[in-house]
Amino acid sequence: MDKKFARITLDPEHRISRVDKRIYGSFVEHLGRAVYGGVWQPGHASADEEGFRRDVLDLVRELQVPIVRYPGGNFVSNFYWEDSVGPVAQRPRRLELAWRSTETNEVGVNEFARWAKKAGTDLMMAVNLGTRGIDAACNLLEYCNHPSGTKYSDMRIAHGVQEPHHIKTWCLGNEMDGPWQVGHKTAREYGRLADETAKALRQIDPTVELVACGSSNTGMPSYPQWEATVLEEAYNSVDYISLHTYYGNRLNDTANFLACSDDMDRFIRTVVATCDFVKAKKRAKKDIMLSFDEWNVWFHSDASDSDTMQNRPWSVAPHLLEDQYNFEDALLVGLMLITLLKHSDRVRMACLAQLVNVIAPIMTEENGPAWRQTIFYPYLHASKYGRGVALNTAQRASKHDTKEFTDVTDVETVAVWDDEKEELTVFAVNRDLENAIVLESDLRAFEGYQFAGHIVLEHGDCKAVNSAAGEAVAPSTVEDRDQMEDGLLRSRLSPASWNVIRLKKS
């Protein structure tokens, strides 16, 4: 037996779940240059008649983003939504406490809804349960979703928006477990507030789906008791619990960094177990689903962000969280996507945080183009080819240990079968930094399927980055790495690589 190996067996019967396309969601917060200078920049050469950058819209459409969380994030906990609607000239400027910035309110709820329509995406709206509560949440929902004939629906119409926005998914606050959150609460306080807010929102619009805040990451002292307490209060009135996590290669140890998706895997398993524990306690019938509505790599900008927020004057759209991603970040993003898909029976929504300029796959130059970061590519591939039924790959692979993790598989895989188009895609990351590994896929249960292509993201330098000047890290199609015979496919995965292996019924 080879020392390094990876084998999978694919069978249409070995289903994890039909993938909810919202697992490929993203996030735009009023933070840094995400909105101002990102999605919206009147005066830019590519701006449309409403000031939205067409170059950004094109890239968002290319990613086929199905849902975008808005307007925060930490921002939402001191968001006064009424300031963001109505005649722009009358909108107040505000001190925005989460990011110590000046919020001009030039883009608000209605503008962002219009942008979302242009981008071909749905909105996931968050309400302020930090400085505000049930009343502001109800009023915003009435403003957005009620047809007409009431104070806030008529206010929307007076603002020129006749048709309701029909926003289905609502987040009940953001990271309320975090001491950094404006209006931070204990689990019991938040659970009660989430429950009462949820019940009131459902009176206004019974079709909404509601997400309660889970833990901000697995390192929080209140994790995972937070989830249990919140759900003890709000189990019957919410549909989802959120998970957030960001990783960074702070030890400058690539092998260890690439094992971080194992932490994400454990996080999901623990939250599922906690939901099911509360379900059993409550003798409940429904399952609580998971909304992994913030995930990504985030650490490159740490030092400059604390300087901006601690030492610089309040300003509009400062440069914040502008991580420039490298090749190894793209590999971890690929691994995190695989992890989400492996849990797609419970993770129904997920948001790559964020979308433009702020820890984002898309960056913009103020007087120049929009460009693709390294992490753009695994996200693109998953969103494009990962629609259908996620399959358990029954993976067996050699393993290694890293500084912080043990039994880390050398190769990670998941497969998605598009049963309508009769296409099958295997996503695989070889996280061995030195060795190519042959992935052996037993496809005999997929009779008539033939190899149709192999896309790879690879680079000799884990620290290689893209920029407006050019893409050092971009995918290529490889012709010489796959051999198929009698339903057995052998694919060579180069060291440290993201692979998209496509099959099609002939």
Positions annotated as catalytic residues are 175, 294
Q: How far is the CB of 478 from ligand AHR (least distance, A)?
A: 34
Site for ligand AHR in 161-180 (CB under 6 A): 174-175
- Cβ closest to ligand AHR, residue 216 vs residue 229: 216
Cα distance between residue 244 and residue 226, in whole Å: 13
Interface with ligand AHR by CB under 6 A: which range of 71-79, 106-114, 189-197, 453-461? 71-79
- Cβ closest to ligand AHR, residue 174 vs residue 402: 174
Interface with ligand AHR by CB under 6 A: which range of 72-80, 278-286, 306-314, 444-452? 72-80
Residue of 128, 87, 132, 125 lying closest to 109 (CA atoms): 125
Q: Is position 72 an interface residue for ligand AHR (rule: CB under 6 A)?
A: yes
- Cβ closest to ligand AHR, residue 214 vs residue 386: 214
> What does DSSP assign to residue 52?
B
Exactly one of 85, 353, 416, 489 binds ligand AHR (CB under 6 A); that residue is 353
Q: How far is the CB of 297 from ligand AHR (least distance, A)?
A: 12
Contacts of the segment 78-84: beta carbons below 8 A, 24+ positions apart: 78/128, 78/130, 78/131, 78/182, 78/183, 79/30, 79/128, 80/128, 80/132, 80/136, 81/108, 81/109, 81/128, 81/136, 81/139, 81/140, 81/143, 82/139, 83/108, 84/108, 84/109
Q: Are 249 and 300 in contact (CB under 8 A)?
A: no
Q: How far is the CB of 75 from ligand AHR (least distance, A)?
A: 6
Cα distance between residue 195 and residue 28, in whole Å: 26
Which residues have a Cβ under 8 Å from the Cβ of 139 and sit 6 or more positions away?
Answer: 81, 82, 152
Q: Is position 74 an interface residue for ligand AHR (rule: CB under 6 A)?
A: yes
Q: How far is the CB of 76 from ligand AHR (least distance, A)?
A: 8
Neighbours of 146 (CB within 10 A): 17
Cα 501-502-504 angle, rounded to 5 deg: 155
Write each residue from 189 to 228 as x if it is in contact with ligand AHR (CB under 6 A), else as -, in one continuous string.
Answer: ---------------------------x------------
* CA 259 centroid distance within chain: 19
- Cβ closest to ligand AHR, residue 302 vs residue 461: 302
Q: How far is the CB of 137 from ligand AHR (least distance, A)?
A: 17
Q: How far is the CB of 482 from ligand AHR (least distance, A)?
A: 38
Q: Is position 259 an interface residue for ligand AHR (rule: CB under 6 A)?
A: no
Which residue in the shown chain puts its C-beta closest to ligand AHR? Answer: 73
Site for ligand AHR in 381-400 (CB under 6 A): none
Q: What is the dihedral of CA 485, 489, 492, 498, to 10 degrees?
A: 150
- Cβ closest to ligand AHR, residue 361 vs residue 475: 361
Site for ligand AHR in 101-160 (CB under 6 A): none
Phi and psi torsions of 81, nearest 5°: -60, -30
* CA 406 centroid distance within chain: 26
Interface with ligand AHR by CB under 6 A: which range of 58-66, 68-76, 223-231, 312-320? 68-76
Exactly one of 20, 29, 209, 233 binds ligand AHR (CB under 6 A); that residue is 29
The structure tokens listed for 399 are: 């393993």
Q: How far is the CB of 98 from ligand AHR (least distance, A)?
A: 7
Q: Is position 96 an interface residue for ligand AHR (rule: CB under 6 A)?
A: no
Spatial strand order of the sheet with 6-9 comes to 396-397, 6-9, 437-442, 488-493, 482-485
Q: Is position 73 an interface residue for ligand AHR (rule: CB under 6 A)?
A: yes
- Cβ closest to ligand AHR, residue 124 vs residue 389: 124
Cα distance between residue 139 and residue 143, in whole Å: 6
- Cβ closest to ligand AHR, residue 70 vs residue 115: 70
Interface with ligand AHR by CB under 6 A: which range of 17-25, 50-58, 67-75, 473-481? 67-75
Which residues have a Cβ under 8 Å from the Cβ of 318 and sit 6 or more positions away?
Answer: 32, 33, 99, 101, 308, 312
- Cβ closest to ligand AHR, residue 174 vs residue 491: 174
Cα distance between residue 278 and residue 280, in whole Å: 5
Q: How far is the CB of 73 from ligand AHR (least distance, A)?
A: 3
- Cβ closest to ligand AHR, residue 72 vs residue 130: 72
Count of residues touching ligand AHR (by CB under 6 A): 10
The structure tokens listed for 477 are: 């199609």
Q: How far is the CB of 359 from ligand AHR (least distance, A)?
A: 6
Strand pairing category for 169-172 and 399-400 = unpaired
Three-state DSSP at 470 gives strand
Handedness of CA 65, 66, 71, 72 (dihedral sign): negative
Cα distance between residue 370 and residue 13, in whole Å: 43
Exactly one of 110, 237, 354, 402 binds ligand AHR (CB under 6 A); that residue is 354
Give the residues lining the site for ligand AHR (CB under 6 A).
29, 72-74, 174-175, 216, 294, 353-354
